[in-house]
Amino acid sequence: SDHVKKFSEWHESAKIKNEQLSQKIFDDKIDVLFDMSGLTKGNKLSVFKLKPSSKQVTWAGWLATTNLKQMDYIIGDKFATPKKDKKNFVEKVYRMENTWCVYSKSEFDKVKIFENKSQNIVFGCFQRPEKLNKKVLTTWSKILLRKKDSFLFFNNGMHQNYDVKNISTFFSKMGVSSSRIRFAESRNRLNYLNSYNLVDINLDTFPYNGGTTSFESVFMGIPILTMRNESIMFRCGESINSNLNMVEWIAKNEDEYIEKAISFSNKKLIKSIKNK
């Protein structure tokens, strides 16, 4: 928008040396410097270590501490980063009144939310493969073994052939037929968002919860089943469901997670949530 253009200025910094970038930030008298990468690939934490700005804040890109003493604040909320988790952060936790993050309205006018007409319950996972672990896949296997007419749908553009093979093999060893595990790699943004309509319940990973994918899920009217998080990571699932007044979708442990997945596998319930 014109307002954004008027009050913003963009600089390409990927190829600038950290020392030069830090000096540029200092010379420009930047009052508050935001990090939105944390410890993810391509981060610029080395710049923050040089402390070019008097106030330095980390947010959104890495849902845990940067472990950098030069980072003044991390933005959270009372659900994602409750006071009892203070020990997990080097930074001061700035708690937003409601939620630490929101998902902005899609720019795609063609994104449609509609009811999944399948008679079977379809569970979904849209997260990166590195968030999957043995406990998560074992828990999901137990759900599928009990809910015999259900399917599990994976959709993430980061899935490689070996990910698909390893995941399928794991479920097969647990007694779940490969025909009930489905994969997609929607790289087109519109197709990707519309694919949420194929799912009834989005299964959250643990202890590393979904972030962007969870916000996408609720934007598309798909409820998230999450589990109470006692790790060093943000309690993202708890924050989203608490802010939505859907605390019953937060399980205390793996056994309750399984029971809730079975209990909530109800088309009428799913439809009522989607129509809210």
Lookup: tokens for 215: 């916000």
Q: In percent, how much of the chain has pLDDT > 70?
A: 98
What is the mean pLDDT of the segment spanning 1-29?
Answer: 88
DSSP assignment of 64-102, as one string? Answer: S----TT--EEEEETTTS-GGGGGG-SSEEEEESS-S--
For 251-276, how does the pLDDT look when each residue is reduced to its tens digit (9 = 90+)?
999 999 999 999 999 999 998 988 77
CA distances in angstroms from 22 to 26, 28, 48, 68, 72, listed in the order given: 6, 10, 8, 16, 16
158-183 CB burial, b ≥16 within 10 A, e <16: ebeeebeeebbebbeeeebeeebbee
Given pLDDT bands bounded at 50, 70 and 90, which one contains residue 9?
A: confident
CA atoms within 13 A on the CB side of 57: 13
Helix axes 161-173, 134-146, angle to 10 degrees: 50
Would the pLDDT of 107 be above 90?
A: no
Instruction: Tell me which fold the domain 2-96 belongs to.
Output: Rossmann fold (3.40.50)
* Whole-number Å distance between alpha carbons of 3 and 10: 14
For 48-72, how does the pLDDT look when each residue is reduced to its tens digit (9 = 90+)?
999 999 999 999 988 999 999 999 9
* 3-class secondary structure, 19: helix
Q: What is the mean pLDDT of the chain?
A: 92
202 and 217 in contact (C-beta within 8 Å)?
Answer: yes
* Whole-number Å distance between alpha carbons of 198 and 183: 12
What pLDDT shows up at residue 110? 75
How many CB atoms are closer than 10 A to CB 249?
22
* 3-class secondary structure, 60: coil
What pLDDT shows up at residue 8? 86
231 and 208 in contact (C-beta within 8 Å)?
Answer: yes
What is the mean pLDDT of the segment spanning 100-121?
Answer: 80
38 and 10 in contact (C-beta within 8 Å)?
Answer: no
Given pLDDT bands bounded at 50, 70 and 90, which one contains residue 189?
A: confident
**Residue range(s) occupied by CATH 3.40.50.2000 in the chain:** 122-274
For 31-51, how does the pLDDT look when each residue is reduced to its tens digit (9 = 90+)?
999 999 999 988 999 999 999
For tokens 């600089």, the residue is 11
* Whole-number Å distance between alpha carbons of 200 and 264: 10
Going by the DSSP 8-state scheme, the letter that residue 106 receives in this structure is P
What is the mean pLDDT of the segment spanning 239-252?
Answer: 97
* 3-class secondary structure, 175: coil
Instruction: Tell whether omega for the bond before 207 is within 30 degrees of 0, i.e. cis.
Output: yes
Structurally, at CATH architecture level, domain 122-274 sits in 3-Layer(aba) Sandwich (3.40)
Backbone phi, then psi, for 123, in 5-degree steps? -85, 155
What pLDDT shows up at residue 144? 98
Enclosing H/E stretch for 122? strand 122-125
